[in-house]
Structure formats: C-alpha cells, structure tokens
Amino acid sequence: MGENALFGAVDALLEQVAQDDLPSPAERRRLREAAGLSQAQVAQALDVRREAVGAWEAGKKEPRAPKRAAYARLLEGLAARFPAPAAEPTDKPAPTRPETPTGPVPAAAPEHEPAAATPPARPAASSTTPTTARRPGAHKAAAKRTPARKPATAADPRFANGPLAVIDAADGQVSAYCLDGLVLDVPAKTLPALVEWTLTEGRLGAPRLHFSGKDADPVLVLTDSAAERYGLPARLSDEERRAGRLPEDHKAAKQLAKAEWQLTRRGLGPWARIYRPAQGARRACVQLCILGWDALDARSWGDAAQLPPGDLAQLLGTYATRVLTPRGSTAVTGLELMTALHPPTRAGEPDRDGKRRSEHNPGSLGTEPVPCAPCEAPDGHPLLAHLPRFHQRTPDEVLVEEAYDWARPLTDEECTKRYVVGIDVNMAFAAGANGAIVGLGAPTHVRRPAFDAKLPGSWLVDLSHVELDERLPSPFTPTGERPQGPAWYATPTVAYAVELGYEVAPVEAYVRHENGRYLDAWYNRLRDAYLATMADLGVTGDLSPAEFLAAMDGHKQADPQMAIVLTAIKATVKGGIGKLRERPRGGGWRPGRPWPALDRPTWRPDIRAAVISRTRVNMHRKMLKTAAATGQYPVAVLSDCAVYPSDGPSPLDFLPYDGDKPLPGGFRLGVSPGMVKHEGTQSVLWAEGVREEHGHDLNIARYIKDGHVSATDTGE
C-alpha cells in the first residue's frame, strides 16, 4: 500500500493532520489505550502485522516510511484527543458543564435514539447546592463492601467519575455510588433535576471507542429506594410489565415533559433514555437502569441486582470499562458494541467553506438496512409472505446454520471405559467471529457460480456425497446427520467441504462482493475483557494444562462479583450474535408483516449464519484431528461442548498431550477463546442409564456438568 492509501485507512481512525515526529514508546501505547483501540486495529489500518505495532510501543523497532508518516498522523490526532493528564483528577465534580468536545461529525444515530444535542437550556433545579464527593474513608459501610481493585485511570476529565453511578436513597440521603469506591452526594429532588445534575455536575460517561463514534451516555442505576424517591414505583404492575413501560400519563413522565425532556420510543421502561433533541455536536442524554423493573436479567447478571450499591457500581463499572456502558440487555449491548467500534459514518473532507459533512465510514454496515436473501429470511419474514400459511421450508429453500445438537450411542468398546468427560470451548462464538469475512452490503444473486471461499454469502450446493466416519457428526448440519441433497450453506461450511478434499458445484448463490472483517475489533474487545476478568479470578494464560485445570476448579468462588462480570461478558457474545437475526416480539405481529428489528442496519442474518458456521466447522475440525491422532470420538456434542469416553475423570486422561504440548489443530486446554476447559465428568453407567430412562435421543452433553436430568428437560 502507498502512502495515500495508508492515509485513507488512517482516516477511518482519525481525521487530523499528519506529522513525522513520534512520541516515546510508552506514550504511543498510552494514546492507543486511551482511545480504546487494540494493536490489531492499528495494525490493520497501517497494513502491518500486529507484532510490529507491539514492537513500536515497546521501543524495540521504529516504523519506516511510508508507515511512519501514517503512524505519526494517528498519534498526533490521538494526542490532541487524549492529552496526558497533568495531575490526578480531584474527587469533587466540577460545578459547570464539561467543555464541548471537538472532532468530526458524529455518526448518525437510529431514528428512535437521540443523536446529539446541545446542553440543556434550563438551569439545574438544584444547582445551588454543591455536589460533594466522599471516598470510602468517609463512608465506612461503602468502603467495607467495595472490593480493593486497581483504580481506573480517568483519561478524559469530562468523565472523571466513571461511566455510571448507582443511585440509592437510604436514610433520607441520596447518594451516587461510582467506580472504585467514590460516593457522591446528590442534591436533586426530582427526576428532571437528577437528569440535569448528571449532565452538569455528575461527570459521568465514557469516551467513544472510535473517534467517529459517540461518547457513551451516563447511566444511572436506580435502587428501589431511589426509584421511589424520584416518583417511580419500585415494581411495575402486571399491565405495565406486559407493556414494558409506565403509561405516558404517569406523573414522572409528565414531569420530564414539563422540563422539556423527551423519551425514546421504548418510553419510561427498565432501560429508559431521557434526552433533548439534537441541535449541535454535543449530546444531552441520560439512561436509567431501574433494578426493580428487572433491568438486569438474572440469566446474564445473576444476583447482581441484590448487591449493595457500592458493590453493584464496581461490578457494572468494570463491565462498562472493559466492554461497553450497558444500553439494555447484554444482547443489546453486544450489538451496540459492533456499531461503537465501526460507526456507520465519519467526517468527510472539508468543503470550500471548511465544513465537514458526514460520509459512509468504510468497513461499517452503513446507516440503512440492506435486504437479506430469501433463503436467509426467517419464517414470517415479508419476503416469504407469498408462501402458504403452514408451509415448511426444506433445506433447499432455507439457510439453516445453527450450533450442534448431536449424540450417538456408545460402542461396546467405549462402554468398557469408566467415565464420560465433557470439554467446553471458551468463547466459542467469539472465536468463530475472529477473522470472519462477512458481507457489508446487499447480496447479489448468481446462477451456477464457481465457489469462492473468500466471498461471503449463501450457496445452494449438494454435499450429500461427502463421506465421514459415522462416529463423528456431519459438519454440514446442526443435527450432525448427513445431508440428503442440495441445501443452502454459508461460505465457511462449503469451504470446509473443499478443505476436506471434495468437489463442490453450487447451483446458485447469493454473494456479497462488498465485504470485510467487520467483527475483528468486536472480538478483540470482548477477548480482552474476558481475559482480564479471568485473570481477576486467578486464571491466566501462562499456566500449564494441569495448573489451568486446578485454577478453573472453583475459580468463580474466588471473587463472586467478577464471576458475574464473566457471565455477562459471555452473554454479550452470544446475545450480540443472536441479535443479528432478532425475531419479532409482541402479540401484535402477524407472519408476513415487518417487525422493528428489520429497520436496523445491524439486522444481518447472513453475518450470524457465517459466525455460527465457522464455530461449528472449528469444532468439527478439532474433533477430526483428535480422532485421526488418537482414535477417540465424541459421543455427544452440544453447541461448544463435546463429550468423550475416558478411562479417567480428567480431560488430560484422553486429550492428546506430549508433556504440556497439545496436538496441533486439536483441542487445547487453556484460558484463551477457542481453547477448552473442563465442563464436567460423569460415569459411563450414568450416561447409559439416562439414555435408557429418557430415550436414546437424549443429548448427554446438556447434562454433563451436574448430571441432573429433570422431567421438564425431557418433556415428561
């Protein structure tokens, strides 16, 4: 790539002026981390290896032209955006509104979300009472409950108090519990005043993850006492729960409207967004997370809602710092993270008057939704409105790329072993997203195409001729059964058939010529969050296989709060991938009619299919390598968990290891995404017993962890 092309790539990271002088290696790293960029992102923009960026930051090497000029341009802009802090920020929030950030035109926001707004014109109702900050020493109860962790460095003084605060109104005193034990006195007496205080004095929020994106809005987490203090019910009624919000004529909603605040289309619900319309480059928006309204789903957040305010602030703040400030469920946050890392627009070149206008940001999904192919459309999609009401589409009509759910009987030889041992792939779907080439634009329909493994899309091809050992599931179907004829597959599935040495002859395809590795930055962010949280739990990447298994035994008990963060990170991965093909919700929808999710540029069932396809193929490749090297085959596979017969209860009793060296291309014990951990061990007698009792179709991988099979699970 030439210098001009490199500058074009850097423009996707920063619109600033280039310079040739480089800061010190330590400052280079600080600037990158302050911007929330990974070494891989910088390397991709500069067309170099990630290791090269690491060497530049370590001072081992210096970039050469033309890379040097482009790198200097990036660092100069980052230095302007994230200057080195002269001193530690004070605990006391500033009484005035933060300064207006400079930079390019921000990315356009969805229609139902506030894009950008000017500061509130009305003065804060309670601004005459100064806000005070208290450290744990002045609030002993909070200090006792707050875990001792390394303080987060506030690179941006506008957000000196962290990304969010838990608001509690115990003993008549309203307090805001922030990250790292900081406690603020809140003088606001009404909900509108609370919003004003947050924007004028709270110094809450988080800097954007991409320079063309948006700073994260502050989040206020309301406990039951805080909700009642500000005129909200501690619990929703049955009718309000079904509607997902308070009625528009509720007193609190009227108060906000009177103070010229607006709510998004989801209204005053568990994750309410309160804003004023956009009139400039600054936002005036606050998000509420109301605990008593089940804002924190127990499936993702465990018992986080029951934690003391200080502990909850630390937990949610850690998640926000490592992943993203929550904007709803973990699934919503996972999807929003994709957009935050790849904003749909960026600032264009200045015109004659020196004004910049928004333009499409290369590598993003853009601002408008793109149509899916008919085979990619889920049942009930408007593209299928012409089909009979109860029509069941066959494999040659619909793309079915789902995770494994397969099991087989044990052979006589396998029954002589004592145990069945489950291994689980860490962050399997995140690993499947890493390096995936996915479509960015609309599909193109072609007849009799030559298969291209580098071209993302959906292919109608017959793979029934591929013969594999019956002790392994087929890599081409979620059930593991051999295909019976032509069927639709995502590119990674067909590419794997070619990798196995078989000829493929697609009948037709829907391909996407505009494509890229859209999910790489998303994977890197979640991988880093996952590894940092596992390190907090005592599990690191430098452990031997035996040490790793020992560290994983009870690691969640080492720090229950970090264990909740870990669960939330995993849910963010799966939920974010699932949201790419969000189905209709609510009783008012009818098959053949559109639903709101279809209006999002991030409604992309083809990207979801590609990730799941790669995940399933990765799983099969490792099982095939293990079988070829050891003659051992799984007896059950469920999504990212495989169960093997074994003479011993540990994965080390059947996984092929030469000392601490694993089989190349096979399963490898370790903490990184794509490596495996011990899921559970049961006896072979247990496996045969539950299959006899509950049916031979039972997938024992579903119950390998604790061995408990309930009647509800089996439909009895």
Question: pLDDT tens digit string along 433-478?
Answer: 999 999 999 999 999 999 999 999 999 999 999 999 999 999 999 9
Is residue 568 within 8 Å of residue 330, measured between CB atoms?
yes
> Residue 445 in 3-state DSSP?
strand
Q: Has residue 188 been placed in a domain?
A: yes
pLDDT confidence tier of residue 156, bands split at 50, 70 and 90: confident
Q: How far is CA 155 from CA 78, 86, 454, in A?
A: 12, 10, 40
Q: Round to whole Å and give the CA distance between 527 and 59.
A: 25
Q: Is residue 341 part of a domain?
A: no
542 Cβ neighbours under 8 A, 6+ residues apart: none
Tell the burial category of 592 from Cβ atoms under 10 Å away from its Cβ (0-12, 13-18, 19+).
Answer: middle
Same domain, 72 and 149: no
Span 685-693, average pLDDT: 91
One-letter amino acid at 491 equals T
Residues in the chain: 716
In a domain, 476, yes or no: no
* Structure tokens belonging to residue 137: 């020493």
Write the CA distances from 486 to 278, 462, 490, 500, 611, integer angstroms.
52, 4, 13, 18, 21
Q: What is the SS3 string spanning 109-166?
A: CCCCCCCCCCCCCCCCCCCCCCCCEECHHHCHHHHHHCCCCCCCCCCCHHHCCCCEEE
Phi-psi region of 586 (alpha: psi -120 to 50; beta: other; left: phi over 0): left
C-alpha 484/C-alpha 496 separation (Å) is 18
**DSSP H helical ranges for 161-250:** 191-200, 224-229, 238-243
Q: What is the mean pLDDT of residues 509-526?
A: 96
Residue 143 binned pLDDT confidence (cut-offs 50, 70, 90) = very low
- Name the one residue in this structure whose structure tokens are 């940001």: 361
Instruction: Find the domain containing 201 and state its range.
Output: 133-327
Structural domains counted in the chain: 2
Region 102-127: mean pLDDT is 39
**Token pair recorded at residue 359:** 């333009």
pLDDT of 647 higher than 70:
yes
pLDDT greater than 90 at residue 542: yes
Pairing outcome for strands 515-516 and 438-439: antiparallel
- Identify the band that residue 679 occupies on the pLDDT scale cut at 50, 70 and 90: very high
Pairing of strands 164-168, 405-407: unpaired
User: Helix or strand or coil: residue 506?
Assistant: coil
pLDDT on residue 113: 46
What is the pLDDT confidence band of residue 96, given thresholds at 50, 70 and 90?
very low
Residue 256 near residue 245 (C-beta atoms within 8 A):
no
Q: What is the pLDDT of residues 162-189, one digit of tens each?
A: 999 999 998 889 999 999 999 999 999 9
What residues contact 233, with CB distance under 8 A and at least 6 apart? 227, 240, 246, 292
Contact 18, 70 (CB under 8 A): yes
Cα 248 to Cα 252, 253, 269, 446: the distances in Å are: 9, 6, 11, 50
Cβ contact 133:176 at 8 Å = no
Average pLDDT over residues 678-700: 91
* Close Cβ partners of 393 (under 8 Å, ≥ 6 residues apart): 379, 387
Task: Judge if 36 and 170 occupy the same domain.
Answer: no
End-to-end alpha-carbon separation of the chain, Å? 63
Task: Tell whether the model's pLDDT for residue 18 goes beyond 70.
Answer: no
Name the residue with higher pLDDT: 647 or 10: 647
pLDDT at 15: 39
Residues 137, 76: one domain? Answer: no
Is the same domain home to 182 and 314? yes
Q: What does the pLDDT read at residue 193?
A: 96
Residues contacting residue 121 through CB under 8 Å, at least 6 positions apart: 260
Same domain, 138 and 246: yes
C-alpha to C-alpha distance for 241 and 613, rounded to whole angstroms: 37
Task: Give the CATH number, domain containing residue 76.
Answer: 1.10.260
Q: Looking at 81, 105, 121, which one is the last position of a domain?
A: 81
Q: Would 12 be classed as within a structural domain?
A: yes
Q: Is 271 part of a structural domain of the chain?
A: yes
86-90, 514-518, 671-675, 706-710: least confidently modelled range: 86-90
Of the pLDDT bands very low, low, confident and very high (cuts 50, 70, 90), residue 389 is confident
Residue type present at position 368: E
Q: Hey, which residues does 677 pair with through a beta bridge?
A: 424
Chain centroid offset of residue 340 CA:
11
Q: Which of 327, 347, 382 represents a domain boundary (last residue)?
A: 327
Confidence of residue 696 (pLDDT cuts 50, 70, 90): confident
Domain annotation covers residue 482: no
The Cα diameter of the chain in Å comes to 81
For residue 10, tell me if it sits in a domain.
yes
Query: Which residue among 286, 306, 327 closes a domain?
Result: 327
Lowest mean pLDDT among 159-168, 218-227, 392-401, 689-698: 689-698
Cis peptide bond N-terminal to 362, omega within 30: no
Task: Dihedral sign for Cα 19, 25, 26, 29, please.
Answer: positive
CA gap 339, 607 in Å, rounded: 14
Note the pLDDT of residue 35.
Answer: 83
Q: Say if residue 317 is in the same domain as residue 202.
A: yes
A 10 A CB-CB count for 236 gives 20
pLDDT of 302 > 50? The answer is yes
- Clarify whether residues 52 and 173 are in a common domain: no
When computed from its CA atoms, the radius of gyration of the chain, rounded to whole angstroms, is 27
Read off the pLDDT of residues 581-623 as tens digits, 9 standing for 90 and up.
999 987 788 999 999 999 999 999 999 999 999 999 999 999 9
Pairing mode, strands 641-646 and 636-638: antiparallel
CA distance 319 to 663: 35
Q: How far is CA 58 from CA 51, 155, 686, in A?
A: 10, 21, 54
Q: How confident is the model at residue 148 (pLDDT cuts 50, 70, 90)?
A: very low
- For residues 162 and 302, membership in a common domain is answered with yes
Nearest in space to 197 (alpha carbons), one of 123, 143, 270: 123
% pLDDT > 90, the chain: 68
My answer on whether 211 and 322 are in the same domain is: yes
Mean pLDDT is lowest, of 77-91, 359-373, 619-633, for 77-91
Asked if residue 259 is part of any domain, the answer here is yes
Residue 386: CB atoms within 10 Å = 8
Mean pLDDT rounded to a whole number for the chain: 86
Give me the half-sphere count of Cα atoms (radius 13 Å) on the Cβ side of residue 439. 32
Give the residue, 405 or 83, on which the prediction is more confident. 405
Residue 282 and residue 288: Cα distance in Å, rounded? 19
Residues 162 and 287 in one domain: yes
| 43 shares its domain with 148 | no
153 with 57, same domain: the answer is: no
